[in-house]
Amino acid sequence: MVYSDVPTDMLESPKSIIQVEVGDGGNSGIAKEVGQTNLYDILSNTFLVPTIAQPVFARIDNKIYFSPDTISVAQYHYYKRATDLSSDSDVSEIPDEFTEYIVRRSVSQVEKALGKTQESLAKENDLRNDIAGAYEKFVGRMNTEENTKRLE
């Protein structure tokens, strides 16, 4: 079994890996994620042994384990961790469209800390709906731009 370290900017969430493309120098495949227990079961079952056409991977202890052993290349597609904004010179990776919502959420949290719970809850419900709408618009625009690039 081959393994690789988890990228340092990957989210720590168990479902942060979107897809892993693997290759052995001549052939390639999309690896399917299996859990730690399932990985050992699959490797010990001769009928389920992974091939380069149907590879598997498991994320265990900050490493990503792959099978079959012939895998020599892996390209990860994953959700990245947001940049730590600990100094004034750090640049946020959050799209500008969402900055307003971060400020509104911060104000709501301050109000909650000051004991204005009722006002805070109402603002957070409105905020949740506004963020969902903005996200749908953002994803729609990103999809439209991506399709336009493909057509050019």
pLDDT at 29: 92
Q: What are phi and psi of 12, to 5 degrees?
A: -85, -5
Supply 1's token pair.
């079994």
12: CB partners within 8 A, 6+ apart: 81
The model's pTM: 0.59
pLDDT at 144: 61
| Burial classification of residue 70, based on how many CB atoms lie within 10 Å of its CB (0-12 exposed, 13-18 middle, 19 or more buried) | middle
Encode the chain (152 residues) as per-residue pLDDT tens digits: 888 898 888 888 778 888 899 999 899 999 999 988 888 889 888 888 899 999 999 988 889 999 999 999 999 888 888 777 778 888 877 777 777 888 888 888 888 888 887 777 778 888 888 888 887 887 776 666 555 554 44
Alpha-carbon distance of 4 to 70, in angstroms, equals: 14
pLDDT at 10: 86
pLDDT at 134: 80
pLDDT at 143: 62
